[in-house]
Amino acid sequence: MINIKVDSALHVLKGAVQKVLNATITTGVYAENDHGRLTVEFDRDINEQEILEIEKQANAKIQENVPIQVLDMQRAQAEQQFGNKIYDKFPIPSHIKNLKVIVIDDWNWNCCIGQHFQKTGEIGTIKITKTRFRNSRNELEISFDIS
Ligand SMILES: [Zn+2]
């Protein structure tokens, strides 16, 4: 299970990546201590300016100190309200009928069973340390530290 700090940061970072790159599908996440990695479907490498913009927007959302809400929802209702954007690449088995949807208003909606802070301001500061584009898989990896 991903630790609370990195898990919370991943939701904020996903929102920024969706906004800046329009990359909406997460294919993987990784966490160790204060280090995390977000992998999304994408078709090219990104430049320094884009990296800085993602970082800036993520940290602005942290500075806003907005609530990270946890909604316990019936799956059908969650899909009706939020559509497919709550899902990552790998489908949740069809027998699961209740979902926890993590909501940062106007930013990120993602079902997730992890633990999260109550507000984004608790996260700290996100620093993107490395990106890597994997051409053969059409995946972009974004590694970050939290301080
Ligand atoms: Zn989460």
Domain ranges of the chain: 4-146
The CA 74 to ligand 1 mean position distance, Å, reads 18
Note the maximum CA span of the chain: 43
Residue type, 94: S
pLDDT for 95 equals 96
11-56 pLDDT, tens digit per residue, is: 999 999 999 999 999 999 999 999 999 999 999 999 999 999 999 9
Say yes or no: domain 4-146 is CATH 3.30.980.10: yes
Q: Which band of pLDDT confidence, cut at 50, 70 and 90, is reported for residue 1?
A: confident
Q: How far is the CA of 114 from the centre of ligand 1 (A)?
A: 5
Cα(115) to centroid(ligand 1), Å: 6
Band the pLDDT of 91: cuts 50, 70, 90: confident
Kindly provide the residue ranges of all beta strands, DSSP E only, lying in the chain, ordered along the sequence: 26-32, 35-41, 69-74, 98-104, 108-111, 126-134, 139-146
pLDDT tens digits, one per residue of 44-76:
999 999 999 999 999 999 999 999 999 999 999
